[in-house]
Amino acid sequence: MNDTSDNAKDDDKYRAPALSKGLDILELLAGEARGKTQVEVAKTLGRTTSEIFRMLMVLRQRGYVELSDDGDRYALTTKMFEIAHRHPPIRRLTSIAGDEMQRLADDINQSVHLGIMHSGKVLVIAQVDCPDNNVTSVRLGAQIPLFDTASGRVLTAWMEDRLRAQLLDAVDGSAERRKDFIEGIPEVLEKGYCENASLTIEGVVNISCPIRDFSGKVVAALTIPFVKRLSGTSIRSVDESREALLSVCRSISRQLGASVHVD
């Protein structure tokens, strides 16, 4: 018996073309900040405009996509993000981390965001602003290229070598960024956190620390895009902010059941 032909038969047996088309559209639009026209979606996916139109109408009726004000471009709504937050592990993580993040932001007068790995990018699932009038923060729901982030290094540093290699092979990015990212991982493992100059905003220092679950696995990264303040009622140094961040990450990890894996 030919295993290959048997697998092909099984694949044909369980095909759901309409579902596949819908998922193709969602995955395509997930990477398009401005959205795409019906013609662009059809051309990119190699489909006819008529079959894409039917799928877009269903997705729009269900609230997954919306039309731009000019009625020309389709873009994702926040519905998928909202559904993801109903997933028990994420809901528990954000519930536990929320109060801790707010206390940290108030204490050090810096914004804080919580990220997880999602489809080879860092997805921001929680974000808290500091009390100061001037704020540098990352948008809730943002998907940030892996090689551009301190949190990306934290999320990949403690992966098994094989899984990390597979992930890095699948992620797009310049050779220089990839090399710098990989070479920085040993330092993250040695220190237990990542601290480096922002690759997207000059003058910002990103400080990112791991959060572990009951098994000791790193499931999220809590990050401060540190801005040096010249005035205000609460001015903390990078060192003070880092120590406060490490303490909060240990606290969140313990509440997730990682007591034996954290100091």
Same domain flag for 198 and 125:
yes
The Cα–Cα gap between 115 and 148 comes to: 13
Q: Do 187 and 62 form a contact (C-beta atoms < 8 A)?
A: no
Q: Is the dihedral of CA 101, 139, 92, 116 positive or negative?
A: negative
Give the model's pLDDT for residue 145.
92
Q: What is the pLDDT of residues 37-63, one digit of tens each?
A: 999 999 999 999 888 999 999 999 998
Same domain flag for 49 and 88:
no
The Cα–Cα gap between 211 and 108 comes to: 19
Same domain flag for 91 and 32:
no
How many C-alpha atoms does 192 have within 13 Å on its Cβ side?
12
**pTM across the whole model:** 0.69
142: left (phi over 0), alpha (psi -120 to 50) or beta: beta
Q: What is the pLDDT of residues 101-137, one digit of tens each?
A: 999 999 999 999 999 998 889 999 999 998 887 778 8
- Structural domain harbouring 232: 83-261
Report the domain count for the chain.
Answer: 2
Q: Which residue has the higher pLDDT, 190 or 10?
A: 190
Same domain flag for 32 and 155:
no
Give the model's pLDDT for residue 138.
87
Same domain flag for 73 and 88:
no
Q: Are strands 73-76 and 121-128 parallel, antiparallel or unpaired?
A: unpaired
Question: Of 77, 98, 129, which one is at a domain's C-terminal end?
Answer: 77
Q: What contacts 47, CB < 8 A, 6 or more positions away?
A: 21, 41
Lowest-confidence region among 82-86, 125-129, 185-189:
82-86
